[in-house]
Every structure is written in structure tokens, then in C-alpha cells.
Amino acid sequence: MPGSLLRLTALGALASLIVGLVRSARRQPTPTTTGVASWEPLVEEASTPSRSGPVQFVDTGTSTEHPGWVEPDADGGCPGSHPVKGNTQSKIFHVPGGVSYGRINAERCYCDEATAEADGYRKAKR
């Protein structure tokens, strides 16, 4: 029994070798390269005009102003004109009189609920 297993393994190895030799003999030769492209060249786009001179920045006035909300003070409190506190991570806003209003440090302060909702926030459930 062990001898027949050895013969079978040797026959399998010999068959694999023969199949490999036949496949390598039948491969097509690699085409020679001529250095000439066989496709049309890409269409050149119009070049972007270069600019020279110093860069000038225009002050739009939006660096400290945000539409509909203001920054809270250093303690996370909101000014009287914008009492609604917004949390940017949870996208939840809290109104005065709410259960968590006193504990929340605001990241944005809104003037009313509609403005906070327009900015993508939802009202706290409690």
C-alpha cells in the first residue's frame, strides 16, 4: 500500500511537469515594441493663465459672524439675545427651563428654536 501511494505521487508530479512544459511551449511570443503609440494622443486643454503679483484677500466679514448663531462665552453660557444652547456633537439644542439647560455648556447659541432647527439641530426631549 505505501508503495502504490508513492507511485501515484510520482505520476502526479510527472503529469504536472509535462502539462507545464506543454503550456510554456504554446505561449505566444511577446510582441516587439516600435516606440510608436497605437492610439490617438490626448487633446491638449487650454492652459490656465498664470497670475503674478501679491495675493490680495477680501474681508467678507463672516469670520466672526455666523448666520443665526453666536459663540458662547468662555463658561459655555449664552447671551440674553441668544438663549438657546446648541451642542455640535449631538446636534441637540436646549431651551431655557429645560431639565438639562443649567448643566449644558453651549457650543452655539441661537436666538430661537426655529433658527436652531434650520441649522440641523433637534430639540432636547426633556
Residue 28 C-alpha cell reads as 505566444
Check if the beta carbon of residue 106 is closer than 8 Å to that of residue 100.
Answer: no
Query: What pLDDT is attached to residue 10?
Result: 86
Stretch among 55-59, 95-99, 110-114 having the lowest mean pLDDT: 55-59
pLDDT over 90 percentage in the chain: 42
Average pLDDT, the chain: 81
Q: Tell if the pTM clears 0.75, that is, is over it.
A: no
Query: What pLDDT is attached to residue 12?
Result: 87
More confident residue, 35 or 105: 105
